[in-house]
Structure 1
């Protein structure tokens, strides 16, 4: 897999993963999803461990809704450290199976309920959100994450305190009056509207890049110095000629090699230059 930002687009896996994200951190969410797959589905294949090629690692597929709908699943998930999210996952799986079924097709291994989730891509954003909010453990932010990441609603901006800080830092939103800020429905809509006005129809994906770039774990991602030969510094006359030439041309695409600074700052400067 190439380096960069990738999104899981399978609606069922996405749904469960974002239920796990409530009041959680990335490393713990990752472990929870891995533990769920390891426990509830048999290994699909074994591949060499990247850090130790002599050792084979098992890879488990994501379990379908019917497997997680059983009444004893909640207790098992609690033993795996899912806490209150365990009940949400089991009840959501049961709701989906009861409402939409668990049959598969000869040419499609997905269960009926998984195909139904996938079909929400063909509905409006508001209709899809309304359906998701009927599920256990799915509030506005979780629903918006699912809409953006797996249901092709590219304009949706999931908002939390981190995203609000980005809006304040780079897009001129008013800072909260107190140090402690609560994400109210009103503030959620204000941040969403502000970022949509800045980014347009692809606001959700712009948000994802900004959010990821602002994470400490990505601070030094892909910042290895280039091995390409460096150009000599231009003379004052040559530098002035280049400046005049640039003033007469459209702003070129900005790349890490051309402009330093954080990704967020580069995005903001590029938008300001248009």
Structure 2
């Protein structure tokens, strides 16, 4: 895979480890839409339109360096795919989702997004986040930025209920109030903690359990030694990995021990394969 970059365009030739549908539909991001000819993805106040053109991908964006980092385009996914292909199932999952890349998304946006994601579905999450951005985010012309912490922290619980957050609404207001005066320090502390300690600290926030903490760590802090466990991962464990464990905590530990520092990548391949293919 060869990548060329200029100020507003990224071109990927022979994109064997880049498929925008795989990337956007594997549960790691919610501010996107996919059309027959292209896809659009938003992060913070940035926007990228991704177009497949024969044997290349062209990304038109407002900041090419931002999206080069966002799509983690300097990482060798061929090595990762080979390393996690430890059995026939993993080989099938990797082949099915061969274009997945774990995005380097904004930490704050991931906290809010994954609190909203708890016991939710992707369509509703997208709708809720779109409402929040349209109401409180900066108008960037043909899209809206994700609202800043200081703006969201002023929103009452009734706003989040109107956005469709339901029982998560007080969790959001509590967490925003907890973060508004010390977010930079909180972020720096998490970056310096072990993954286990960072998970415990995140889980002290309202609305953040173990699975949500793992998602925030994986997609917002690039901690790849985590393994978010949801209903699809529980099914794949039960049906394809022995199935003797019953608690999500034990299943999570099983997969982290199995895949080590690449556990987060393995989770994305398995999740996308199981949810899409339902095997």
TM-score by length of structure 1 reads 0.61
Paired positions, count: 183
Contact 2:225-2:256 at 8 Å conserved across structures: yes
TM-score by length of structure 2 reads 0.60
Question: Is 2:125 the partner of 1:29?
Answer: yes
- 3-state SS of 1:152 partner: coil
Q: 1:194 aligns with which of 238, 251, 254?
A: 254
Q: How big is the shift at 1:64?
A: 1.5
* Greater relative contact order, per chain length (Cα 8 Å cut-off, separation 6+): 2
Question: Is 2:273 the partner of 1:213?
Answer: yes
Task: Give the equivalent residue in structure 2 for 1:85.
Answer: 168
Q: For residues 184 and 126 of structure 2, what CA distance do their matches in structure 1 show?
A: 22
CA RMSD of aligned residues (A): 2.3
Which whole-Å deviations, capped at 9, do the CAs of 1:210-242 have from their partners, x for residues lacking one? 1012223xx4xxxxxxxxxxxxxxxxxxxxxxx
1:101-120 correspondence runs (5 A)? 113-114=183-184, 116-117=186-187, 120=190
Contact 1:8-1:14 at 8 Å conserved across structures: no
Task: List, as ranges, runs of 4+ consecutive aligned residues in structure 1 with deviation greater than 4 Å.
Answer: none
Q: For residues 120 and 160 of structure 2, what CA distance do their matches in structure 1 show?
A: 16
Q: For residues 27 and 115 of structure 1, what CA distance do their matches in structure 2 show?
A: 33
Q: For residues 168 and 148 of structure 2, what CA distance do their matches in structure 1 show?
A: 17
Q: For residues 74 and 172 of structure 1, what CA distance do their matches in structure 2 show?
A: 44
- 3-state SS of 2:224 partner: coil
1:238-257 correspondence runs (5 A)? none
Structure 1: where are the runs of 5+ without partners? 47-57, 101-112, 177-186, 220-261, 265-274
Q: How big is the shift at 1:8?
A: 5.5
Q: How big is the shift at 1:145?
A: 1.2
Counting strand residues as a fraction of each chain, which structure ranks higher?
A: 2
Structure 2: where are the runs of 5+ without partners? 1-9, 11-18, 24-101
